[in-house]
Structure 1
């Protein structure tokens, strides 16, 4: 073979290797981009599920913990609807309030009849971020709860107040 033929084969070999490397690089980049997109959607879905499931579970568990005779009622705190769950500690009666204020589900535990001088709503502890929360009676022993998560998903659920008596 002469030198020109060997040189042409050498150039073709180099071009083939470079083309193969280019195809590999483009394929790897595409795979990483697709994987990142799938991961991003998975994280978003998990966040939405966390927000909604945690809010529903938290409210339901709080009601179940306080479910004794005449211990759960709907009330208002400074004109904001709230769920009041009474408990007796020693000789004093306390109320755990669940309510919506400034974008959060809040919880406030205080002795019944205590006044904070018009500053009850900010005094509660932030539990979860929400965009809306309402409580209403759907029947004698049935409380309707509607909440909206930051992702704008609306959830409505009902809590049956058993009003079990303790002796």
Structure 2
């Protein structure tokens, strides 16, 4: 009678073995879920950053052009670096400060850059503040009041922005 209440050692070992197997199965399955979730999170964050780069660059350019849309406010210039480099830039002229400041927006070494200087200053193209990762930056003027800006993001996505300027007449310098 006393033996009835005692546990059978073989049954206990077998139960323990199945419990350990079940625990290992859940641990391995949980690891796969975590790894898959990490990969998905990485891909989503990469796409979000790329979309942010596109949107922030577009909204930055739109805001700057709208801000300087007055007579003699916007010009297209060729910038030359003392090192011999050159690039096409959007030149935005302030009309409310003395001395007069010029904001240049251009692409140099893979980045859209902004450089604010006084007129006739000597500068390096590398001095501009980096705004976004951009390549193949093109400025085209149609009919003196329609400005088209085309650029490519780091993922070879081409963005085309058209601006109908209300007051500014673009001079090509």
Q: TM-score range by the shorter chain?
A: 0.7 to 0.9
Q: Contact 2:73–2:95 at 8 Å: present in 1 too?
A: no
The one of 108, 112, 116 equivalent to 1:105 is 112
SS in 2 for 1:84: strand
Aligned position for 1:16: 18
User: Where does 1:116-127 land on structure 2 (aligned, <5 Å)?
Assistant: 116=122, 119-127=123-131
Aligned position for 2:139: 135
User: Where does 1:28-43 land on structure 2 (aligned, <5 Å)?
Assistant: 28-43=30-45
How high is the TM-score relative to the length of structure 2?
Answer: 0.80
| Aligned-partner Cα distance in 2 for 1:130–1:149 | 5
Alpha-carbon distance change, 147 to 13 in structure 1, aligned in 2, over 3 angstroms: same
Q: Contact 1:98–1:108 at 8 Å: present in 2 too?
A: yes
| Aligned-partner Cα distance in 1 for 2:55–2:97 | 34
The one of 88, 93, 107 equivalent to 1:86 is 93
Which whole-Å deviations, capped at 9, do the CAs of 1:76-99 have from their partners, x for residues lacking one? 112411111111245543321111
SS in 2 for 1:88: coil
Aligned position for 1:58: 60
How high is the TM-score relative to the length of structure 1?
Answer: 0.83
Q: CA deviation at 1:111?
A: 2.8
Which whole-Å deviations, capped at 9, do the CAs of 1:132-153 have from their partners, x for residues lacking one? 3221114431111112222332
The one of 83, 96, 109 equivalent to 2:103 is 96
Aligned position for 2:46: 44
- Structure 2 residues not aligned, in runs of 5+: 81-85, 169-173
Number of residue pairs matched?
159
Q: CA deviation at 1:124?
A: 2.3
Q: CA deviation at 1:123?
A: 3.1
| Aligned-partner Cα distance in 1 for 2:19–2:33 | 21
Where do 4+ consecutive residues of structure 1 move more than 4 Å?
A: none
